[in-house]
Every structure is written in structure tokens, then in C-alpha cells.
Structure 1
Amino acid sequence: MPASPFDHPHLSGLLGDAEIAALFSAEAEMREMLRFETELARAESAEGVIPAEAAERIGEVLAGFSPDAEGLKAGVAQDGLVIPELVRQLRKAVGGDDAVHVHFGATSQDVIDTSLAIRLVGVCDIFDRRLSGLVEDLTALERRDGGTEVMAHTRMQAAIPVTAARKIRSWRDPLERHRERLPAVRDGVAVLHFAGAAGTLEKLGGKGEAVSTRLAEALHLTAIDHPRHSERDGIAEFASWLSVVTGSLGKMGQDIALAAQSEVGEIRLGSGGGSSAMPHKVNPVGAEALVTLARFNATLVSGMHHAMVHENERSGAAWTLEWMLLPQMTIACGAALSTAAKLVANISFKARDASA
């Protein structure tokens, strides 16, 4: 069994999401961390905090910088995070008198959390697009099959006949509400993290606010009036949103799997999984994956709530827990949205047998 199914050469075909995973790759993380350092130098230069020549030199070097990966790995083993060793490598690459101006006034969490914020904005854009498409697909399914009569079930027992539209709306409407909530969730994570060692920007003197404003504009993030190093409600709300989205998709998957049972036959699967022993079967693989991903995120969201508990101004333990959980939850949500779109495109409702 692999350590992670999301990037496994086989299981990623079922549970992976290459588009979302790319935003959590080491390359994407490093790209945005270097972007932070470059734009920080430019903002500080514009406000007279560091010399213009230093900002220009930093920008030139970082544009073509390739870190020593093994050195970064060793640095994380010692320091618990990548930035101390990365800054050492950057200053060595810049060299001369300009090296001291690299990362000036910033702290490790500024770089790491801002890199994440930039990438989560991209994630939110992808999810908005996918939710919109899925809602449209479900609306089209309702137009085509909504008048088909099926059996409602309460507590797993047959209740009364209803139209398929009743079931489809119970899948679609929550997704519409999740999409309506997404802008507020996005605002909660799309913030600049720049506050220095303990949230005071003491090295910048009276220029902290001006530099923050310039830096936020360059990175297309929101400048806030005080740091959120230890205020993790925005991240937790994002994780909760991921869980409720996958939960709604899991409900749809469960309904489809039940309705596609041979004994029920109210939904036809246009495609499905085969069996090595029973070639007549069309297994509801996509529907089952939605249920699995929903349960996975429901399990992990508890850990993200635990990660809100930061002691004082920064917690190494809580912060590291986020690194372990949030990428997996985000990829799981992305995989669920993609799987749901494929599933909806390959199902049709079959009229209920009135004699049954």
C-alpha cells in the first residue's frame, strides 16, 4: 500500500488530480517563495528601505536561481522548515554587499504562508470553474431525465414514487450554495503574510505598512492590518469548505451507486469498472470514489481544526500538521469534482418498473 494514493503511479488514476497536485509540488512552492523574496526586495527598494541596486541584483539572481535540493532537505531536518537554508543559499548566490538585503525584515512564516496563499487563490479559481461546470451538467441531466419516475427511499426502505428531478436537485443545490460561499472562503486565504519575526516588522521602522501594501499588490493578495501567523481560522474555513464539498459529492455518489444496483436499476451507468472474475459487471467505480473521498476529507478536517491551536505567536507543531493535511484534502476535493463531472456525463435514469 502506498504512502500517498494521490501521486501513486496506479492509484492516482482513481484518486489523483494532476492540475491541483501541480500547485502543491515542490517546484510550485519554490517558485512562489522566490517570487515573494523578489517582490519583497522591490517593495522595500521603492520605499527606500534597501538600495535600488540591491533589489535589482536580487531580482536578477532569483530569476535564474536553482536551489540545492539536498541542502534544503538537510536544512529542514535541522531547522524544521526550509527558509533558513534557502535564504543562506540565496545570499550566497547574490553575494557581495547586496546579500544582506535578501529576505530583509521577513521571517520564515511570511515566505511559506504567502507562497501557500498565492497557490490557494489558483486552487479556488479551478474549483469555481469546476463547480460551475458540474452545476450546468446536473441541470442538463434534469432537463433530460428529470421527469422520469423513480422510487424515493427513506431509511433505506421504499417510500413513494418521485421524479428524478427530486434526486438531481438534492445533488445540485448544495453545490450551488458551496459556490456562493467560495468567494468568502477565498478571501480568507488570499491574504499577504508579512510581519517579521513576531508580527511587528520592527526592522522596517515606519515603512512596514507601505512595504506591505506594495508587496500585496505585486502578489495580488490582500494587505491586512496585522499578521495572522497564529490566526488559522481562514485556513480552517477553507479546509471545512473542502470537506463539505466532498461530502455533498459523496452523497451524490452514494445515491448513484444504490440506484445502479442490479436489483434496483433506476440509473444506468454508461461506463464503469470491470471485474477480473465476473465480466458481466459494470461496477460504480466513480460513485464509490466519491464516497471514499468524502469520508477521507471528513476525517482529515478534524486535524485541520486541531492545527488552529497555535501557542503564542507561532507553533511549529500545529503549522507542520497543516503541511501534512491540507494538500491531501485539496487534491481529494479536486479529484472528487473531476470524478463527479465524468460520472454525471455517463449516467441516465431509467423509468421505474411500476409492477415491482
Structure 2
Amino acid sequence: MSAAAIDHPFFTKLVGDEEAAALFSVEAEVDALLRFELALARAESRHGIIPAEAVPAIEAALNGFTPDVEAIATGLGNDGVVIPALLKQLRAKLSDDLRPHLHFGATSQDAIDTALALRLAKAIVLLDERLEQVINALDALEDRDGAVEVMGHTRMQAAIPVAARRKIRSWSDPLLRDRARLKAVGTDVEVLHLGGAAGTLEKFDGKGNLVAADMAAELKLRPVDQPRHTERDGIAAFASVLSLITGSLGKFGQDVALMAQNEVGEINLATGGGSSAMPHKKNPVPAEVLVTLARFNATLLSGMHHSVVHENERSGAAWTLEWMLLPQMVVATAAALRLASNLAQNISFNGVNRSV
């Protein structure tokens, strides 16, 4: 059982998303961390920073590695980061003379931030695909029902009749812009992090940028001139885009819920939630959840902006806050897109209710 509704066994079908949540599982995180360590060893070997014979041994230690999760959890509780306990298990698979060459010159944040970047790159692909699905579903809805006349409302009061396409485009056009924002922000998220203890690459014998470039090419990430241990604007910008996406979907959900009210009746729901007391009801559950997820992400976004304030060259407090918030925002966004796509395919416009 989880303390967070988004991955609670009951609530995950309502507000969670299994595919997105898998990107933040223990298995996904460890796999990404091992990819970092292997890419680091290979690049360092190519530039003479560690001996070439260390690489096959490191590859063998990493291949098929099964972590002792409980030991890593205990280590994280003591150290505040997962890397020391993970390295202890990995180095136990190496000979004494080769152990120092694993993770040489790197710091915990290099590995953790790069592992996050690898998983966020996958998250961006997932979210982009789902954005496309929602946009396509809304386009199909416009093609079918766009000419239907419905009542326009201003300040929650009936105004004048408008074509349904007027409402549909107010749902789809923001998503087109959100999709462009998501693509743009990817350049600041899919970044290789390599700086060493204080961001100076002091153990790389002047070859740190070469090592970073090689690692970035292998991991399909972007190298940057200066490590971003405390420069979190890119991560915060990504979180902002997530909140904008769910906000756009929340507007869609809010409109559908209002138009599906019995006394309005301008939208018909093909599916809906049941009631334990009133079996005649068809509750607009997906539309309501879109509003909830929009407000959820908007609330968490404030915390992500707080996490931009990293003190000096490294922060523990701000960094840990980021870990707690960002995965939930990604999962919430994926869930909202999944729900919105289904909702768009299961509504139809009935036309204006002249009694309104």
C-alpha cells in the first residue's frame, strides 16, 4: 500500500498510469544508473583515465546485476543518496585492484541526474505520443460534430449559440502548443550530467569534456559545458510544461462535465461512472479526474519552483524535494492524457438546449 494516491493499488486506475510509473521503478532506476557507470568506464578507458582491462570486468559486474534492494534502501537512509550502497554491491564483484576504477571521478549526483535524464527522455516520448492521440481524437470529434450548434457561455451564463468546433478547438489548440513546448524543453532535460565532486571535473586530467562528449553520444544525451548540479531551471521548465498540459486537459474536462449536466444536456457521455445510491446516474468521472489532475500538478509545480533554490555547489534539501514531486507530475500527466483520449472518443454533441 502506498501513501500516495497516484500509485495506490486502488487509485492507480483512476489517477495513475502504470506505463509512466514504470519509468520510476527500482528496476528502471538501477538500469539507468548502470548505463551511466558503464558509459563512464568506457569513455574513461578510451581517454586513458582508467586502464583498458578494467572495462570488461566492469561490464561483467554490471551485466545481470541484481541489487539487494533492502541494503540500498538502508544505505540511502544513511547517506541521502543511493549511489554509495549501490557501488558497494557492484565493487564486491570486482577484484581489489579494479574496484577504484568503477565510478572514478564521478559523484553521486552525476549518476543520479543522468539516470533521471535517461528516464525523462522516455517519458517525453510517451507524453508526446499521447498528446498526438488526444489531438487526433479531438480532430475526429470536430470532423463529426463540429457543425452542431451549442450554447456558448460567458462567466457561467448562457451567451449566444456557437458551433461545437468553437469549443473543440479551445480544447485542441492549447495541446498543439503544449506539444511544441514539450519538444522544446526536452533539450534542457535530456542532458548528460558529469562534474565530479564540486563540478570541476578535477580527476579527469583535463579530459573531462572529452569523456562527457563520449558518454553523451553513447547515452543519446546532450553534453553541456558546465555541470548542472545546482542549475535546475531546465527541470523546473519541464515541470511547468507538465502542469500546462494537465491544465489544458483540465479545461477540456471541466467543459465536458458542465455540458453533460442533465439540465444542459449538450454532450452525451457514452460511458460514465455509476452511483451506489442513484443507479440512474452516469457520472462524468474521466472529465472530473482531468480537473483533479490539473489542480494536482498546479499544486506540485510550486514545490518544483521551490526546488530550483539549490545552495552553493550542491544541495540535499532541494534535490530531495525534486525527487518527491517530479515523478508524480509525470505520472499525473500521462494519466490525464490517457483519460482525455478515451473521453474524446466517448462523447458526442447533442446540440443547443434552447431552455438554457
Structure 2 length normalisation: TM-score?
A: 0.98
Count of aligned pairs: 356
Aligned to 1:65: 65
Aligned to 2:131: 131
Structure 2 gap segments, 5+ residues each:
none
Name the CA distance, whole Å, in 1 between partners of 2:92 and 2:355.
Answer: 80
Structural mapping, 1:288-327, within 5 Å? 288-327=288-327
Aligned to 1:91: 91
Q: Percent identity?
A: 62
CA offset digits 1:102-140 (Å, max 9, x no partner): 100000000000000000000001111111111111111
1:2 Cα offset (Å): 5.2
State which drifts further: 238-247 or 79-88: 79-88
Structural mapping, 1:63-212, within 5 Å? 63-212=63-212
Contact 2:151-2:353 within 8 A present in 1 as well: no
1:353 Cα offset (Å): 3.2
Q: Secondary structure at the match of 2:227?
A: coil
Name the CA distance, whole Å, in 1 between partners of 2:130 and 2:185.
Answer: 16
Q: Secondary structure at the match of 2:153?
A: strand
1:354 Cα offset (Å): 3.4
Contact 2:265-2:353 within 8 A present in 1 as well: no
Name the CA distance, whole Å, in 2 between partners of 1:94 and 1:272.
Answer: 57
Name the CA distance, whole Å, in 2 between partners of 1:64 and 1:115.
Answer: 18
CA offset digits 1:287-326 (Å, max 9, x no partner): 0000000000000000000000000001100000001000
Name the CA distance, whole Å, in 1 between partners of 2:243 and 2:173.
Answer: 16
CA offset digits 1:202-227 (Å, max 9, x no partner): 11111111111100111100011110
**What amino acid is aligned across from residue 26 of structure 1 in structure 2?**
V
Contact 2:146-2:168 within 8 A present in 1 as well: yes
**What amino acid is aligned across from residue 42 of structure 1 in structure 2?**
R
Aligned to 1:335: 335
**What amino acid is aligned across from residue 58 of structure 1 in structure 2?**
I
Q: Secondary structure at the match of 2:206?
A: helix
CA RMSD of aligned residues (A): 1.0
The verdict on how the C-alpha distance between 1:68 and 1:235 changes in structure 2, with shifts beyond 3 A counting, is same
Structure 1 length normalisation: TM-score?
A: 0.98
1:157 Cα offset (Å): 0.6
Q: Secondary structure at the match of 1:198?
A: coil
1:284 Cα offset (Å): 0.1
Name the CA distance, whole Å, in 2 between partners of 1:205 and 1:99.
Answer: 20
Contact 2:194-2:212 within 8 A present in 1 as well: yes
Name the CA distance, whole Å, in 2 between partners of 1:354 and 1:80.
Answer: 62
Q: Secondary structure at the match of 2:92?
A: helix
The verdict on how the C-alpha distance between 1:48 and 1:353 changes in structure 2, with shifts beyond 3 A counting, is same
Name the CA distance, whole Å, in 2 between partners of 1:227 and 1:221.
Answer: 13
Name the CA distance, whole Å, in 2 between partners of 1:109 and 1:353.
Answer: 59
Structure 1 gap segments, 5+ residues each:
none
Name the CA distance, whole Å, in 2 between partners of 1:246 and 1:354.
Answer: 32
**What amino acid is aligned across from residue 315 of structure 2 in structure 1?**
S
Aligned to 2:7: 7
